[in-house]
Amino acid sequence: MTARISLDPPRGVLYRCVSWYSNRTYGKVIDPVRATAHHTRVLWAGLRFELAVGRWKALDPDLKALAVMVTASSVGCGWCMDFGYWTNRQRGMDARKLRDVPEWRGSTLYSPLERDVMEYAEAMTATPPQVGDELVDRLRTSLGEAALVELTTMISVENMRARTNAALGLTSQGFKDHCEVRGPAQGKAAGQR
């Protein structure tokens, strides 16, 4: 499948700055930036929003990653799955858990809390949402209210991202193919042996 929108947007000042940052951070300009750059105000609002989301720290990063990836898998966003695998491997998350996300119910790798988080992500992503009181009670007890609010909002954010990317026809950019390269944390651990 090819993108349903040109990935060659006008090269205004904002796009050039964001492209530089994306190249420096990810080794390429990510397609969601290239797609939204057709509308400068959407690109600018999205950048500010993503910077704010990146500062949320009430929820464990691995739980957040599982929730985001289950949401992306439920929506069917190949771009999000590719990028999510890569970014979470870069920060040291277990590759087996990331690979098993699409079939998490049949996997033995996840803790009861991780399973609750993934079930919640699926339930929220369903249309209409299928969230049950018992599941929310378990999550509130395990996570606390601040982390539950962050989890809920993170799933909503990923629904927006994944649905936008899927609708625009954005697919894998090949990030996962490069995941096994050692990041700084992995190289440090390897050097200590």
Same domain, 51 and 64: no
The Cα–Cα gap between 154 and 160 comes to 10
Residues 46, 78, single domain; the answer is no
* Residue with more model confidence, 59 or 181: 59
| Residue whose C-alpha is closest to residue 183's, from 56, 88, 63 | 88
Q: Tell me, yes or no, whether 27 and 114 share the same domain.
A: no
Closest C-alpha to 84, from 181, 150, 175:
175
**Nearest of 113, 64, 67 to residue 91 by alpha carbon:** 64
CA 7 – CA 29 distance, rounded (Å): 10
Each residue of 93-135: pLDDT tens digit?
Answer: 999 999 999 999 999 999 999 999 999 999 999 999 999 999 9
CATH code at position 79: 1.20.1290.10
Residue 29 near residue 22 (C-beta atoms within 8 A): yes
Domain, as residue range, for 113? 57-182
- Are 94 and 15 members of one domain? no
Per-residue model confidence as pLDDT tens digits over 33-63: 999 999 999 999 999 999 999 999 999 999 9
Q: Do 49 and 71 fall into the same domain?
A: no
Record the pTM.
0.89
3-state secondary structure of 4: coil
pLDDT at 91 over 80: yes
